[in-house]
């Protein structure tokens, strides 16, 4: 299970998501960035920043 916590990228944001596939976590995180943080253009660097912050919950448990 992959997890992304928005607060690791946007300090103070409590939003997080989990999914089996990294691609789904990234998709959800990008949608969150658009709706909650007003990002209209999602650059490749933003996607890279999201990917770097995705954790594997199987390892963390």
Q: Which residue's structure tokens are 């944001």? A: 13
> How many CA atoms within 13 Å lie on the side-chain side of 29?
32
Domain span at residue 31?
2-60
Structural domain count of the chain: 1
Structure tokens at 28: 């959800």
Confidence of residue 57 (pLDDT cuts 50, 70, 90): confident
Question: Per residue in 15-43, pLDDT tens?
Answer: 999 999 999 999 999 999 999 999 999 99
Does the pLDDT value for residue 61 go beyond 90? Answer: no
DSSP 38: -
End-to-end Cα distance, the chain: 10
**pTM of model > 0.85:** yes
CA dist 20 and 44 (Å) reads: 22
pLDDT category of residue 59 using cuts at 50, 70 and 90: low
The mean of the pLDDT values for the chain is: 94
Residue 21 DSSP label: S
């Amino acid at each position: 299970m992959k997890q992304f916590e928005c607060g690791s990228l946007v300090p103070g944001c409590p939003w997080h998501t989990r999914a089996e596939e990294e691609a789904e976590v990234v998709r959800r995180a990008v949608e969150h960035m658009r709706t909650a943080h007003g990002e209209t253009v999602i650059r490749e660097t933003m996607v890279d920043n999201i990917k770097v912050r995705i954790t594997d919950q199987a390892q963390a448990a």
